[in-house]
Chain A
Amino acid sequence: MHDTLIPLLGERLGAHRVLTAREDILPYGFDGTATLRGRPRAVVFPRDAADVSFVLGLARAGGVPVVTRGSGTGLSGGSVPHEGALVLCLAKMDRILEVDTANLALRAEAGAITQKIHEAADAAGLFYPPDPGSMKISTIGGNVAENSGGLRGLKYGVTRDYVMGMEVVLADGSICWLGSKCVKDVAGYNLRDLFIGSEGTLGVVTQVLLKLLPKPAARRTILATFGAMDEAAGAVSAIIAAKIIPCTLEFLDRTTIRCVEDFARAGLPREAAAVLLIEADGHPAAVADEAAQIEALCRAQGATSVKCAADAAESAQLASARRSAFSALARVRPTTILEDVTVPRSELAGMVRAVEAVARKHGLTIATFGHFGDGNLHPTILTDERDAAEMHRVELALAEIVEETLRRGGTITGEHGVGLAKKPFLRRQLGDASFELLRVVKRALDPDGLLNPGKIFD
């Protein structure tokens, strides 16, 4: 079967949609996650769900594992191919099929770029809120598969909150449509939720129907500078306690500020211990009121300066600078290992201090940034994968950070997924019964275990 797999794929898809040469497939051996690599057998580019169904049928007949992938920007190794796997790359299925302004919905192929979805919604006076850091190249299918978050999670939630329906191809090749354009729909199990965040292990999402919102009439971006981390954390608690839910409430520590500024030149204060980047949106009067309150609260918590972005362009520049944080941190050391631990918001300040203590204990550089409003931290270990001794300390530090997170009632991953990177810690968090339930679901939908095997759990 292995010998005929490639010719059969080529016959159906056309040879140019089936890559096997080393130079062609080597760049599909990784995603956005540090240090993880695999070597696929081939990379195929389906045109539609029927092609995907055909590929899955052949793969099943030949017992070949299939790893679905979009732009490969994942941060937990979810699309790093299994050795010898078939990579099913949906990047060329990138059309936006429908913007339905009557029903505030948008339908797109899985390979559509998140940014393009934002732009299509925006052009219709509408708003697709989820904005993961990699949105300018990430695919919507990947966002759904990882249930990606972003900067606006605090007020608007994550990808899951915007998926009304989807087309999904199951391991047996059947093509299902789950969900509808109805605001209310309780017909049968809510199966689309099963596939959101399933990391390509249960089926292949080929189309997505998204919910849109009216575009907020006004936005204001505030940059608050602090001389100490605790003060920034205190300001976040004060804002939430005042019953204000800003659209974004982002935090950057000193190392992150400097790296981002080196790249983006957005005017971040290089000497600050911490900054909060806060955006309020909504009705102009409400925004003005919230912004004034936020400013006062930040000052009361010891902010050394609080500045409002002058215009939309400056706001956009600050947000895009923030989105570059993870990549910009790669300026410091060769290897950048990004964590995604999330704790209940009341535990934030304690968690940040715990991360600092871990860094000191193991002699590591850890920069921290993240979505403070969500309790979602991105401690980033700046290291060198070629230094075995240091990498050992990195392993120890990661385990301790996870330990501390779970002790505080947190989760090992807020928005990046489990993939390969968080796999060792999943059973600890879920407990035996919940963990086994994952396996039951997996066996029911993918009895041969060919869809992205070895991800989330073994």
Chain B
Amino acid sequence: MKSLREMDYSVLQQCMHCGMCLPSCPTYEETKLERHGPRGRIALLRAVADGELEVTKALGEEMYYCLGCLACTTACPAGVDYAALFETARAEVEDARVLATPTRSAVRWFALRLVFTRPRLLRALGRGLRWWQASGWAERARRAGLMNLLPENLRRLEPQAPVMRARFSHELIAPVERPERVQRRVAVLTGCVQDLAYSEVNRATVDVLKANGCEVLTPPVQPCCGSLHAHNGDVRTARELARRQLDLIDPGAVDAIISNAGGCGSHLRHYDRLLADDPVYAARAAEWSRKVRDVAEYLVEIGFRLPRGGAGASGEGGNLAVTYHESCHLCHGQGVSRQPRELLRAIPGVELRECAEATTCCGSAGIYSLTQPETADRLRERKLWHLRATGAAVVATGNPGCQLQIENGYRAAGEQGPEVVHPVVLLARAYREESGEVRSV
């Protein structure tokens, strides 16, 4: 990856510092300091490119204080590619090792290089966590005060960990599933967190695609897409994972490659850029990028069949009030905002209630809730406040990070809270209801 000094200067120059991004930026909103807003961050990066500033610890901290939510990208009339600047800057911060400590380096190696490059290992860890959560040991340990023996970070993390599903995606989905009449052929990406913690979303994705004439290919063992790595300064590993993904799924063999996780999709679309200089993979990556779709986007694009069944969860057949929280990397990163709402509105009995600040980050932001817990908590509180104001019984959202963040928020507040669910899960329920087959996954 090119450094800030080597990269195309016009990307930096594109910012004409008009300030239109500032009101959209959660960290600027929080501090009202220019440094913590997009315009200020870009000025710092330009100073690095100009040789006026070296990559300092303060710059490194700044780039990790940035959520990477890309709300500024939507707000920017000048069309600044902040995502590219953000990824380049974080990679440069890592290269310069200005934030490196033995613990941080060890955690990064364990997560980015070890666990999230080996899908089978990740699943094994998921099973371990599942055992811990389901066996009652977690509860027992908590009651016995054993958790206090853990280092503070882990103690904080443990209750936030997503609940592992009894069955992961490959146990719910066959590698190839065909509807009665095949009109299209697509590949479904099952993700990492989605695979372990929300495997029902993957099942629902396959269900709704099948219900719309798609033959669905779902490779049972899929590598991480590399989003985690690219967003956290490890571009080399991100490239390697992209190549593995391209080896696994030939974009030429399908009409579309379907993602159902906003954070992943935002990165998956940029394989072309990521591998532009790769003599072997560049062409394949370009085709891949052309064919990546968010599941809601694709369903709307192919004119999905309107369900006759209801959303199920209403129980008494009354209206179901649903609000939609937009995943940052789905709405700002991919420009997919209208389509999930169309899906929801299409479900009989669903009353879609708009939520204030629906496009503002919930604080999940990849691993931000782990790295910047205080800011993440404040953003989550604000999000919950707006969600509660809608009075909706269901919160729909298109990204597992958001789903977990919001669920954890209600739990931390000691509330039962609304059901938090991916839009395709509701749509899948509606399709199932019409055939009279009511099954909850």
- Do the two chains bind? yes
Residues of chain A having any CB pair with chain B under 8 Å? 19, 21-24, 26-32, 34, 45, 71-73, 91-92, 94, 113, 115, 134, 136-138, 260, 262-264, 324, 326-328, 330-331, 334-336, 384, 386
Q: Which chain A residues border B76 with CB–CB below 8 Å? A: 327
| 0/1 string, B390-410, CB within 8 A of A gives 1 | 000000000000000000000
* Chain B positions 1-60 with a Cβ under 8 Å from a chain A Cβ: 9-10, 13-14, 16-20, 22-23, 32-35, 37, 39-41, 43-44, 47, 52-53, 56, 58-59
A263 touches B77 (CB 8 A): yes
B32 touches A92 (CB 8 A): yes
**Assembly CA distance A30 to B53 (angstroms):** 16
**Assembly CA distance A338 to B16 (angstroms):** 11
Q: Which chain A residues border B23 with CB–CB below 8 Å? A: 113, 115, 136-137
B14 touches A334 (CB 8 A): yes
Nearest 6 interchain pairs by C-beta: A27-B40, A327-B77, A330-B78, A27-B34, A324-B77, A334-B13
Query: Which of B18, B20, B35 lies in contact with A24, CB distance below 8 A?
Result: B35
Known: A23-B53, A26-B44, A29-B43. A134 touches B14 (CB 8 A): no
Known: A23-B59, A137-B23. A327 touches B44 (CB 8 A): no
A31 touches B17 (CB 8 A): yes
The chain B residue with its CB closest to the CB of A92 is B32
The chain A residue with its CB closest to the CB of B43 is A27
A32 touches B34 (CB 8 A): no
Q: Which chain B residues border A115 with CB–CB below 8 Å? A: 23
Q: Give me 5 A-to-B residue pairs in the complex whose CB atoms sit less than 8 angstroms apart, sorted by A's number.
A: A24-B58, A26-B35, A32-B17, A330-B78, A334-B10
Known: A23-B44, A26-B43, A328-B78. A72 touches B20 (CB 8 A): no
Which range contains the number of B residues in contact with the other chain? 20 to 34
Most-contacted residue by chain B among A27, A31, A134 (CB, 10 A): A27
A328 touches B77 (CB 8 A): yes
**Assembly CA distance A19 to B32 (angstroms):** 13
**Assembly CA distance A22 to B20 (angstroms):** 24
Known: A23-B59, A331-B78, A336-B16. A137 touches B22 (CB 8 A): yes
Does B318 touch A at the CB level, under 8 Å?
no
**Assembly CA distance A331 to B39 (angstroms):** 16
Known: A26-B53, A324-B77. A21 touches B58 (CB 8 A): yes
Query: Which of B13, B18, B33, B44 lies in contact with A73, CB distance below 8 A?
Result: B18
B34 touches A23 (CB 8 A): no
Q: How far is the CB of B71 from chain A (nearest CB, A)?
A: 13
The chain A residue with its CB closest to the CB of B79 is A331
How many A-B residue pairs have C-beta atoms within 8 angstroms? Tell me.
Answer: 99
The chain A residue with its CB closest to the CB of B62 is A23
Q: Which chain A residues border B47 with CB–CB below 8 Å? A: 26
B44 touches A27 (CB 8 A): yes
Q: How far is the CB of A386 from chain B (nearest CB, A)?
A: 8
B53 touches A134 (CB 8 A): no
Q: Which chain B residues border A28 with CB–CB below 8 Å? A: 34
The chain A residue with its CB closest to the CB of B16 is A330
A23 touches B19 (CB 8 A): no
A32 touches B56 (CB 8 A): no
Known: A24-B35, A92-B32. A71 touches B22 (CB 8 A): yes
Most-contacted residue by chain A among B10, B41, B62, B77 (CB, 10 A): B77
**Assembly CA distance A32 to B77 (angstroms):** 13
Q: Which chain B residues border A328 with CB–CB below 8 Å? A: 77-79
A30 touches B43 (CB 8 A): yes
Query: Which of A27, A263, A264 lies in contact with B35, CB distance below 8 A?
Result: A27
B20 touches A136 (CB 8 A): yes
**Assembly CA distance A28 to B17 (angstroms):** 11
A137 touches B19 (CB 8 A): yes
Known: A330-B78, A331-B78. A27 touches B18 (CB 8 A): no
Known: A23-B59, A28-B34. A73 touches B77 (CB 8 A): no
Q: Which chain A residues border B53 with CB–CB below 8 Å? A: 22-23, 26
Q: Which chain A residues border B77 with CB–CB below 8 Å? A: 260, 263-264, 324, 326-328, 330
**Assembly CA distance A137 to B24 (angstroms):** 10
Q: Which chain B residues border A34 with CB–CB below 8 Å? A: 16
B13 touches A327 (CB 8 A): no
**Assembly CA distance A31 to B77 (angstroms):** 17
